[in-house]
Amino acid sequence: MRLRRLLGAATAVVILGSLTAVPARAEPQHSGSESPASAAALWKQLPDGFAALPGNGLAGTTGGQAGRHVSVSSLEELQSYAAAPEPLVIFLKGSITAQDYVKIPVTSNKSFIGVGAGVELVNAGFKLINVSNVIFRNFTVRDSYIPGDWDGKRPDNDRDGIQLDTSHHVWVDHMKFERMGDGMIDTRKDSDYLTYSWNVFADNNKALGVGWTSNAVTKMTIHHNWIRNTVQRNFSLDNTAAAHVYNNYLQDIGQYGMMGRNAAKVVLEGNYFTAVADPVVAKDQATEIVNRDNTFDATRGRKDNIGGAFDPTQFYAYAKDDAAKVPALVTSGAGPRESQAPSTTTDITVALDGTGDFGSLQAAIGSIPVGNTQPRTITIKPGFYREMVNIWADRPHVTLQGATGDPADVVISYDTPANGAKFFGGTWGAAGSATLNVLAEQTTVRNLTVENAYDEATNGGSQALAVRTVADKVIFDNTRFLGNQDTYLADTTGRDATARTYLKNCYIEGDVDFLYGRGTAVFDGCTIHSLDRGSDTNNGYIVAPSTKNSNPYGFLIVDSTLTSNAAPGTVSLGRPWFASSDPNAHPMAVIRDSNLGSHIAEQGWSDMSGHSWTEGRFAEYNNTGPGAHINGFHPQLTPQEAVNFTKEKFLGDWIPAAGA
């Protein structure tokens, strides 16, 4: 079959230029000297992998090549041709937008191919029910997200990019899916003979789910895809008879990476995972995952490898790239041919009412180029944003700000407890519970509220973080942190690392150790509010630093106000946290020039987990108010010592930007 037979003579030149077409099952091995751009430029005539194989009455996947060629530039034309009973090669042009979301029914023997730059389907998707022999190539499907429905739980939110039910021989290649309402591709109900190759899946909660059946039928090949800034289903492979997953790049994933479920058989090889929690999960006892030759960079959690699964070479020949080359290959080659250049926009707006650039914070963060070097500001209009937000380490120099200046007007909220059970085993842990994770240096957050709304009264006590910072040079200005136990964690990238956070004019509330961690944090002009737990004797602890012994600066509370409605004398200033009995910890905190309410205990500092409070580096200076006790349990700095414990000393060579 010739290239011009598949695409048409003129159109083939427009779309693929001079790129070389190669046989469906004979991809050449890329040499070490080959450039990523040339290696990625192998736009095939026919699919490789399972979509190329005979089965269910077809010799392979050819789409609409047997039919005529048509062009569409409107939604009505696209719907009409997609539903036509005849084979068709359908060329999409320009931007096609649905006013109200529509999932376009597709009949068998169709090819959908984008022509030129900027081809996209907006606020719509495709539905394949009991059909076969369909190809999607070279365009973007985007923006069916319902603002505020980050979890995708609304009954009207089945807004997939592509939905396949009991369909076979489908090839999805060089496509881009972003910001969909539900999954980007949902592969369901015994769909079979599938290949997903060189696609981009981005800025969404759910990426790609496979299954919805008790049978183990689906055979699919998943290679050279770029999955970035997503949370779950990256992929979730349920009851696949054979899922061959190779040379994919998973970057900045919030919850879990590749997962096998029930009786899934998965071969996972030559993939690259970076900043992924639980990168490889075999969820169920019958799941088999072969985990080989993968690279794990800045990941944590499970990397399961269990069972023999299957041998892909028993089905087809293939040649995989070295995992170390995958990020360069995939980022340069995945997605539509005329993909958009990285965004140069420096001012981004998020709104729930459709007036912003994006409807979710995480999508806005995803629009910022990796390795960003210029200041970018994300302004958030008033509303309640229920989502877990990660400011990824590879996106520095970002400001997240509420639009009105009143932090009560913009609320970012989620309710995950650290002791909450993951559905695939284990618990989320402290880092996994945070509503806001700040992983990027030079981040500023201002004029908004972040809360962990976990209900302790109903569900029992647990760590439940509102905010976790890991990076250096992070600013919070006029920001509210709401939680109970462990509201704010000042973390670092490792035990030997340091990270500085400056909190100016913030309001932070909690009850147990609600300012804690091994990072360096300066609370300047803040209101620190201890919640009343209803006890007559113990209503909690404010700080629990775990500062490394080589770091002279842990927590500084200065020019601040400590408040509470709790009974007088029932709240401790803090206690020393020796995380995992770390012998190199030497917890450090200074509270100075602040007003301390009557809730502060006369014995200001408490012991913790067998460690005396005297093992910490705790001190006070020049405090006022009824809780500013002067006794042996409140060690005081001398004026000479106090000059070494100022915010300038804690922050060192970093001077936070004016206005913070």
Q: What pLDDT does residue 25 have?
A: 27
Q: How confident is the model at residue 40 (pLDDT cuts 50, 70, 90)?
A: very low
Percentage of the chain beyond pLDDT 90 is 87
Query: What per-residue confidence (pLDDT) applies to 454?
Result: 97
pLDDT at residue 42, as a whole number: 56
Tens of pLDDT, residues 252-274: 999 999 999 999 999 999 999 99
Distances from the Cα of 514 to the Cα of 486, 495, 528, 573, angstroms: 4, 20, 10, 11
According to the model, what pLDDT value does residue 16 have? 37
User: pLDDT exceeding 70 applies to what percent of the chain?
Assistant: 93
User: Over the stretch 174-185, which tens digit does the pLDDT of each residue have?
Assistant: 999 999 998 999
Average pLDDT over residues 33-47: 56
pLDDT at 134 over 50: yes
**Which of 40-44, 47-51, 56-60, 191-195 shows the lowest per-residue confidence on average (mean pLDDT)?**
40-44
pLDDT reported for residue 340: 60
Give residue 660's pLDDT band: very low, low, confident or very high (50, 70, 90).
Answer: low
Q: Is the pLDDT of residue 38 over 70?
A: no
d(CA 605, CA 602): 9
CATH homologous superfamily of 50-333 equals Single-stranded right-handed beta-helix, Pectin lyase-like (2.160.20.10)
Say how many Å lie between the first and final Cα of the chain, rounded.
Answer: 64
CB atoms within 10 A of CB 640: 7
Tens digits of residue pLDDT in 153-209: 899 999 999 999 999 999 999 999 999 998 999 999 999 999 999 999 999 999 999
pLDDT at 580: 85
Average the pLDDT over 71-92 and give the result: 98
What average pLDDT does range 336-357 have in this prediction?
A: 87
Provide mean pLDDT across the span 577-593.
Answer: 93
Of these residues, 173, 252, 513, 524, which one is catalytic?
A: 513
- Catalytic residue, candidates 304, 486, 511, 524: 486
The predicted-structure confidence for 299-342, as pLDDT tens digits, reads as follows 999 999 999 999 999 999 999 999 999 999 999 999 998 766 67
**Residue 277 pairs with which residues in a beta bridge?**
300
Q: Are the folds of 50-333 and 375-651 the same?
A: yes
Which amino acid, residue 314? Q
Binned at pLDDT 50, 70 and 90, residue 37 comes out as very low
Q: Give the pLDDT of residue 339.
A: 61
| Mean pLDDT along residues 629-647 | 97
What is the CATH class of 375-651? mainly beta
At 367-400, the pLDDT tens digits run 999 999 999 999 999 999 999 999 999 999 999 9
Do the beta carbons of residue 144 and residue 156 sit within 8 Å?
no
Q: Is the pLDDT of residue 102 over 80?
A: yes
pLDDT of residue 343: 77
Q: What is the pLDDT of residue 617?
A: 98
Active site residue 511: no
3-state secondary structure of 78: helix
Tell me what the mean pLDDT of segment 599-606 comes to.
97
Whether 486 is catalytic is yes
CA distance 187 to 90: 22
Q: Which of 601, 593, 597, 605 is nearest to 564 (CA)?
A: 597
Question: Domain-by-domain residue ranges, the chain?
Answer: 50-333, 375-651
The yes-or-no verdict on residue 24 having pLDDT over 80 is no
Q: What number of residues does the chain have? A: 660
Written as six digits, the tokens of 613 are 């409070």
Confidence of residue 10 (pLDDT cuts 50, 70, 90): very low
**What average pLDDT does this structure show over 74-102?**
98
The rounded distance, in Å, linking the Cα atoms of 429 and 479 is: 24
Read off the pLDDT of each residue in 541-551 and give the average, rounded to a whole number: 97
Gap between the Cα atoms of 142 and 146, Å rounded? 12
Residue type (1 letter), 150 = W
Radius of gyration of the chain (CA): 28
217-247: per-residue pLDDT in tens?
999 999 999 999 999 999 999 999 999 999 9
Mean pLDDT of 640-660: 90
* DSSP category for residue 616: S
Q: Is residue 8's pLDDT more than 80?
A: no
20-23's contacts with Cβ under 8 Å and 24+ in sequence apart are 21/45
The whole-number pLDDT of residue 657 equals: 79
Q: What is the pLDDT of residue 609?
A: 93
How far apart (Å, rounded) are the C-alpha atoms in residues 651 and 648? 5
